[in-house]
Amino acid sequence: MSATAEAPAGSAEPVEEATPAGVRERLASPRALVLTCVALFVLLLVSVVVAIGLGAAVVPPGETARYLWAALTGGRIGADETTTYQIIWQIRTPRVLLAALVGAGLSAVGVAIQAMVRNALADPFVLGVSSGASVGAVGVTVSGGLAALGIYAVSAGAFLGALVASFLVYVAASTRGALSPLRLVLTGVAMSLGFQAVMSVIIYFAPDSEATAMVLYWTMGSFGAASWDTLPVVSAVVLTGLVVLHRHGRALDVLALGDETAASLGVSPDRQRRRLLVVVSLITGAMVAVSGAISFVGLVMPHLVRMVVGATHARVLALAPLVGAVFMVWVDLLSRTAAAPRELPLGVITALVGVPVFIALMRRKSHVFGGR
């Protein structure tokens, strides 16, 4: 099972991953996998501390760690350090932590969706969740709906829009309780185009330009709205979702082999696909509600990790969230420092990085992407 991966769209058989055999063998043992996870976690911690310290006001990593320790333990800081402490703890820390969470969630959801639909080009937004969230956010902005939620109204609208989009995709794609991968992908793409049309109509009739700016935010991504108030809910949804997806690693292995093979092994592909659709929709909706749509992370990260550890989903789901978290922390740092004081949309940076990486992956693993 470990030597197989999802087939290209329309293919009925699994394919071999083009990955260095020696590296894969070294990481095949549980001990090597644990050590790799520990190394990535340490790299993530270092990245978080460095990213928190960098910005318009640069704070050395040692000082940053001291401020973070004081915040966590209730330690004291000097009166002349109050402003720097507030920048570190109240502004940058929740933003960097949110970046790590979203990077981890996008990578894990990308792994799950590519196995669910057996399509190497699938990503967390292929099911129309991103477009549905954008419609919800823009609709709330223009109409003033959910005003009772105050500053959380737009995020709540985006989350509800994402869930509605997922429900509509499921209803439209399922036939007599069956949920085939091809119908799921095609329905998701069609619904995404439909939601984009609805969003364009809302913008066209909007009384001001606020909706246009909101669309840019939700379609390109940003962590500028991160705060300690929103972080706990997103953390709970994403971390719980990661655990659930990891527990479904065996089911994802079977789904990647095809529905007939899954049925012969005693696994109901439709039932598993419905369960996973609920999980990935909740995770994606929670992430989009606080960060907007960020492209290429959920598409590229799963392939990069599979090249190193093989296609067994238990291993991929152990490493992909950590790799995605580290990547997104540095992307966010580049977003807020490359053109300071202006902030680049996250989707611009991930696309500039993701496109050449994806083309390189496609040439290296041509058999996965429809080549010979």
Mean pLDDT over 97-102 rounds to 96
Query: Is residue 297, in this structure, part of any structural domain at all?
Result: yes
Question: Phi/psi of residue 148, each to 5°?
Answer: -65, -20
Residue 13: band (very low, low, confident or very high) from pLDDT cuts 50, 70, 90: very low
- Residue 6: its pLDDT value, please? 41
Residue 22 domain-assigned (yes or no) = no
Our count of domains for the chain comes to: 1
What's the chain's average pLDDT? 84
Distances, alpha carbon 219 to alpha carbons 3, 280, 306, 346, in Å: 36, 19, 28, 10
Which domain CATH number covers 222? 1.10.3470.10
pLDDT over 80 at 27, yes or no: no
Residue 42 placed within a domain: no
Question: Is residue 35 assigned to a domain?
Answer: no
* 107 within domain boundaries: yes
pLDDT tens string 101-156: 999 999 999 999 999 888 888 888 888 888 888 888 888 877 777 777 777 787 88
Report residue 287 as tokens.
Answer: 């992430």
Is the distance from CB of 281 to CB of 86 less than 8 angstroms? no
Query: Per-residue pLDDT tens for 320-361?
Result: 999 999 999 999 999 999 887 888 889 889 999 988 988 887
Question: What is the model's pLDDT at position 11?
Answer: 41
Which structural domain, as residue segments, surrounds residue 203?
Answer: 102-364
**Per the domain annotation, does 163 fall within a domain?**
yes
Give the integer Cα–Cα distance in Å for 345 and 337.
12
**CA-CA distance, 237 to 165, in Å (whole number)?**
18
| pLDDT given at position 236 | 94
Query: For residue 239, what pLDDT band results from cuts at 50, 70 and 90?
Result: very high
For residue 26, pLDDT beyond 70: no
Is 199 part of a structural domain of the chain? yes
Residue 54 maps to a domain:
no
Q: Which residues of 292-329 are buried (b: 16+ CB within 10 A; e: fewer)?
A: bbbbbbbbbbbbbbbbbbbbbbbbbbbbbbbbbbbbbb
Taking the C-alpha atoms of residue 189 and residue 122, their distance in angstroms, rounded to an integer, is: 11
